[in-house]
Amino acid sequence: MIFNLPDYVNVVLNRLKEYGFDGYIVGGSVRDILLGKAPHDYDVTTNAKPDEIQEIFKDFKTVSVGKEFGTIVVVQDEGSIEVTTYRIEGKYLDGRKPSEVTFSNKIEEDLSRRDFTINSMAYSHLQGLIDPFNGRQDLGLKIIRTVGNPKERFAEDHLRILRGVRFATQLGFKIEDETYTASRKMSYSLSNISNERVREELFKILLSRKPSYGIRLMNELEILDIILPELKPTVGFNQQNPYHDKNVFDHTLCVVDNVSNVLEIRLAALFHDIGKPHTFTIDEKGIGHFYDHDYVGVKMTKEILTRLKCPNDLIKDVLLLIGDHMTKSRDMKDKGLKRLISRVGEHRIFHLMELQKIDRMCTNPLADVDFFEERITNITRILDNHEAYEKNHLAIDGYDIINLGYVQGNIIGEILDYLMEKVLSNPELNNKEKLIELVKNKYKL
């Protein structure tokens, strides 16, 4: 078969050929094309050495940040391409990086060092598909299989265990039996991997079409025990509540699968009920309750996301969503909605509405969620009309009150709080003259 490659990729392959060197696209781009998907980026491998690559592309902008490993980045307006010399890797001493890299002249040797068969294919217009480990066949079988002995591959780089789960989740594939067994037996080795590398794979799983598939795989392979031990108590946890037809873990995965493919919402969905096993009580009727599980969940989630070294802004967004995910009474009026907007912020309020709606939908098939449409309509009206929901939205401020003759001090804050309460219920009062009149009538000089 012939691959239809973008012009900027062909420019690189043709230039290598002109200078007498091999040039292949390799790895994920080959896999994606065979699956009928458009690759996000392209990597090229060649028998040209790094200095030779730089000479060949001397009229291009190049970046040599990975030169010691054989990689030169060739920059073009349409996209940058990593051009890497065929290489053989020495022993892995730390479960992450090889002790040494030796350049090779054989494409097959380069492909043999890669993780999974579906990522160990190369293609050029001249040679066609190079597939020494039957990756195309495994694509057809929809399985994730390591190149060679899985124990050896995972011993080289422990993160490959989690990467296997990630590829299985993204592609909807099954992990081949021998690879599966080795993944489970060696899952403990993920404790030696940096939290940053684990985080990136976890996020890719969460942002896949059906993240529950990957999370269940992580549980089966005992990976959760290592990277998210706080989630394990939810597995199989019976809520003993007539409003819930699922255990905590299954409910959580239902929510994760059904919220939008947005990282902060997916993370909030994953951890929104993580506090339930720690707050479980049973009343005299034998019904289970989870009072304050949202507050406990916020604390636990902060510790998890901090451990994973997530950006502070992301942590803040997720915690706000979890902290307010229980404020879903159908009787909430405008005043309550405005307080809610003030707590979580305009850019998060609709994410919160989505989380609350899906959370309720996943409790049981008869759960009432119709009132969320009215709530979203009311929030949209409040925002579109610029109705005040914070004190800095009032038509007067502390200086205006001082100018009326009131002495600077606690009384100023008390007056602003009073006005805010009035305006929350009656937005038409947010007018400077009306507010001044309210102040004079309530607080005598």
Please state, as a whole number, how many other Cβ atoms lie within 10 Å of the Cβ of residue 382: 19
User: Same structural domain for residues 94 and 15?
Assistant: yes
- Torsion on CA atoms 9, 15, 16, 18, rounded to nearest 10: 140
| Tens-place pLDDT, residues 27-61 | 999 999 999 999 999 999 999 999 999 999 999 99
User: Same structural domain for residues 150 and 132?
Assistant: no
| Residue 384: inside a domain | no
Residue 256: the pLDDT is 98
> Scanning the structure block, which residue is given the tokens 């979580």?
344
User: Same structural domain for residues 244 and 370?
Assistant: yes
Those residues whose C-beta lies under 8 Å from the C-beta of residue 209, and which sit 6 or more positions away, are: 170, 172, 261
User: Same structural domain for residues 223 and 166?
Assistant: yes
Those residues whose C-beta lies under 8 Å from the C-beta of residue 305, and which sit 6 or more positions away, are: 267, 314, 315, 318
Residue 342: the pLDDT is 95
CATH assignment of the domain containing 19 = 3.30.460.10
CA-to-CA distance for 50 and 103, rounded, in angstroms?
10
| Residue 383: inside a domain | no
| Residue 385: inside a domain | no
CA-to-CA distance for 164 and 254, rounded, in angstroms?
23
Residue 372: the pLDDT is 93
User: Same structural domain for residues 129 and 154?
Assistant: no
CB-based contact 25:123 (threshold 8 Å): yes
| Residue 357: inside a domain | yes
Instruction: Name the token pair of 413.
Output: 């804050």
Task: Give the domain-ending residue among 109, 138, 167.
Answer: 138
Residue 65: the pLDDT is 81
CA-to-CA distance for 22 and 192, rounded, in angstroms?
37
| 105 exposure class (CB count in 10 Å sphere: 0-12, 13-18, 19+) | exposed
Task: Give the domain-ending residue among 88, 114, 138.
Answer: 138
Task: Give the domain-ending residue among 227, 253, 281.
Answer: 227
User: Same structural domain for residues 50 and 160?
Assistant: no
| Residue 1: inside a domain | no
Residue 98: the pLDDT is 65
CB-based contact 125:13 (threshold 8 Å): yes
User: Same structural domain for residues 303 and 354?
Assistant: yes
Residue 91: the pLDDT is 67
| Residue 343: inside a domain | yes
Angle at 132 between CA 67 and CA 152, to 5 degrees: 70
| Tens-place pLDDT, residues 324-350 | 999 877 888 999 999 999 999 999 999
Which portions of the chain are predicted below pLDDT 70? Answer: 90-100
| Tens-place pLDDT, residues 265-277 | 999 999 999 999 9
CATH assignment of the domain containing 211 = 1.10.110.30
CA-to-CA distance for 254 and 256, rounded, in angstroms?
6
User: Same structural domain for residues 364 and 305?
Assistant: yes
Percent of the chain that is helix, strand, coil (3-state, to 5)? 55, 10, 35
CA-to-CA distance for 423 and 438, rounded, in angstroms?
11
CA 197 to chain centre: 13
Which residues span the domain enclosing 254? 239-376
Packing angle, helices 312-323 and 346-361, rounded to 10: 50
Q: Per the structure, how many domains does the chain have?
A: 4
The total number of residues shown for the chain amounts to 445
In this structure, the strands spanning 122-124 and 128-130 are: antiparallel
Ramachandran area for residue 19 (φ above 0: left; ψ -120 to 50: alpha; else beta): alpha
User: Same structural domain for residues 107 and 198?
Assistant: no
Residue 31: the pLDDT is 97
Please state, as a whole number, how many other Cβ atoms lie within 10 Å of the Cβ of residue 320: 20
| Residue 232: inside a domain | no
User: Same structural domain for residues 146 and 133?
Assistant: no
User: Same structural domain for residues 334 and 415?
Assistant: no
| Residue 15: inside a domain | yes
CA-to-CA distance for 70 and 127, rounded, in angstroms?
22
Q: Where are the alpha helices (DSSP H) in 310-397?
A: 312-323, 334-344, 346-361, 371-384
CA-to-CA distance for 72 and 23, rounded, in angstroms?
13
- Amino acid (one-letter) located at 304: I
CA of 199: how far to CAs of 202, 303, 305, 308, 418, in Å?
A: 5, 14, 9, 6, 46
CA of 54: how far to CAs of 9, 20, 49, 178, in Å?
A: 16, 15, 9, 42
User: Same structural domain for residues 347 and 401?
Assistant: no
CB-based contact 214:205 (threshold 8 Å): yes
Average pLDDT, the chain: 94
| Tens-place pLDDT, residues 109-162 | 999 999 999 999 999 999 999 999 999 999 999 999 999 999 999 999 999 999
